[in-house]
A and B are shown apart, each in its own frame.
Chain A
Amino acid sequence: MKMRDVILFAIVAGLIIGTGFFQSWNSALLIVNMGLISAIMALGVNIQWGYAGLFNVGVMGFVALGGLAAVLVSTPPTGEAWAAGGLRVILGLILGAATMVGAILMWSRMKPGRARGFAMFGVLALGFFIFRYVFDAGVAAIEAVDPAATGYLGGLNLPIMISWPVGGLLAAGAAWIIGKTALGLRSDYLAIATLGIAEIIIITLKNEDWLARGVKNVVGLDRPFVVPKEIDLQNSPSFVESAAGFGMDATMASTLYVKGMYALLFTVVLLILLWLAQTAWNSPWGRMLRAIRDNEVAAEAMGKDVTRRHLQVFILGSAVCGMAGAMMTTLDGQLTPGTYQPLRYTFLIWVMVIVGGSGNNFGAVLGGFLIWFLWVQVEPMGLFLMNVITAGMADGSALKEHLLDSAAHMRLLTMGLVLLLVLRFSPRGLIPER
Chain B
Amino acid sequence: MDFLNAIVALANFVLIPGIAYGAQLALGALGVTLIYGILRFSNFAHGDTMAIGTMFVILITWWFQSLGISFGPLPTALLALPFGIVLTGLVLLSTDKVVYSFYRKTRVKPVVLVMVSLGVMFIMNGLTRFIIGPGDQRFADGERFIISARDFKAMTGLKEGLAIKSTQGITVITAIIVVAVLFWFLNKTRTGKSMRAFSDNEDLALLSGINPERVVMYTWLIVAALATIAGTLYGLDKSFKPFTYFQLLLPIFAAAIVGGLGNPLGAIAGGFLIAFSEVTVTYAWKKVANYALPESIAPDGLAQLLSTDYKLAVSFVILIIVLLFKPTGLFKGQSV
Chain A contacts to B: CB under 8 angstroms = 53, 55, 57, 128, 132, 181-182, 185-189, 191-193, 195-197, 199-200, 203-204, 206-207, 342-343, 347, 350, 402, 405-406, 409-413, 415-417, 419-420, 423-424
Q: For the complex formed, measure the closest distance between the CB of A318 and the CB atoms of chain B, giving whole angstroms.
A: 17
A413: chain B residues at CB < 8 Å are: 122-123, 126-127, 130
Task: Tell me the smallest distance from the CB of B320 to a CB of chain A, in Å.
Answer: 5
Q: State in angstroms the CA–CA spacing of A200 and B316 once bound together.
A: 8
Q: How far is the CA of A192 from the CA of B319 in the complex (A)?
A: 9
Q: How far is the CB of B293 from chain A (nearest CB, A)?
A: 16
Measured between C-beta atoms, what is the minimum distance from B182 to chain A in Å? 23
Binds A, one of B49-57, B187-195, B218-226, B245-253: B245-253
- Chain B: CB-nearest residue to A418: B119
Cα-based distance from A198 to B102 in the complex (angstroms):
31
Check: B335 CB closer than 8 A to any chain A CB: yes
Residues in A whose Cβ lies below 8 Å from that of B310: 200, 203-204, 207
A–B pairs, 19, beta carbons within 8 Å: A53-B111, A182-B323, A185-B323, A185-B327, A188-B41, A188-B42, A191-B44, A192-B42, A195-B253, A196-B319, A199-B316, A203-B313, A347-B118, A406-B130, A409-B134, A412-B123, A412-B125, A417-B119, A423-B116
Closest CB-CB distance, A302 to chain B, in whole Å? 20
B114/A55 in contact, CB under 8 A = yes
Chain A's nearest CB lies how many Å from the CB of B155? 38
- Residues of A within 8 Å of B247, CB to CB, are 199
A-chain residues with CB within 8 Å of residue B315 when the two chains form the complex: 196
Task: Give Cα A409–Cα B246 distance, bound, in whole angstroms.
Answer: 15
Chain A interface, DSSP helix/strand/loop, else mixed: helix
| In the assembled complex, B73 has its CB within 8 A of some CB on chain A | no
Q: Please indicate the chain A residues that have their CB under 8 angstroms from the CB of B309 in the complex.
A: 203, 206-207
Expressed in whole angstroms, the Cα–Cα distance for A195 and B114 within the complex equals 12
> With A185-B336, A207-B307 in contact, do A193 and B323 touch (Cβ < 8 Å)?
yes
A350 touches B316 (CB 8 A): no
Interface flag for B147 (CB, 8 Å): no
Contact B327 A412 (CB under 8 A): no
What B residues does A188 contact at CB under 8 A? 41-42, 110-111, 114
A55-B114, A188-B41 given; A193·B126 CB < 8 A: no
**Nearest 5 CB-CB pairings of A with B:** A412-B126, A416-B122, A413-B126, A416-B123, A188-B42
Contact A420–B130 (Cβ < 8 Å): no
Given A185-B336, A199-B247, A420-B119: A410 and B111 interface contact (C-beta under 8 Å)? no
CB-CB under 8 A from B324, the residues of chain A are: 181
Q: Which of B99, B110, B125 interacts with A187 by CB under 8 Å? A: B110
The answer for the CA separation of A302 and B41 in the assembled complex, in Å, is 29
Interface string of B247-282 (1 = CB under 8 A from A): 101100110010000000000000000000000000
Q: How many Å lie between the Cα of A182 and that of B254 in the bound state? A: 13
Say yes or no: A416 contacts B126, CB within 8 Å: yes
- Whether A55 lies near B115 (C-beta < 8 A) is yes
Question: Do A189 and B116 touch (CB < 8 A)?
Answer: no
Of the candidates A57, A189, A203, A424, which one forms a contact with B323 in the assembled complex, judged by CB atoms under 8 Å apart? A189
A417 to chain B, nearest CB (A): 6
Can you name the residue of chain B whose Cβ is closest to the Cβ of A423?
B116
A342: chain B residues at CB < 8 Å are 246
The verdict on B133 contacting chain A, using a C-beta distance below 8 Å, is: yes
Provide the bound-state CA to CA distance between A132 and B129, in Å: 40
Q: Does B121 count as interface, using CB distance less than 8 angstroms? A: yes
Q: Which of B109, B118, B133, B250 contacts A350 (CB 8 A)?
A: B118
Interface residues of B in 281-336 (CB under 8 A from A): 305, 307, 309-310, 312-313, 315-316, 319-320, 323-324, 327, 335-336
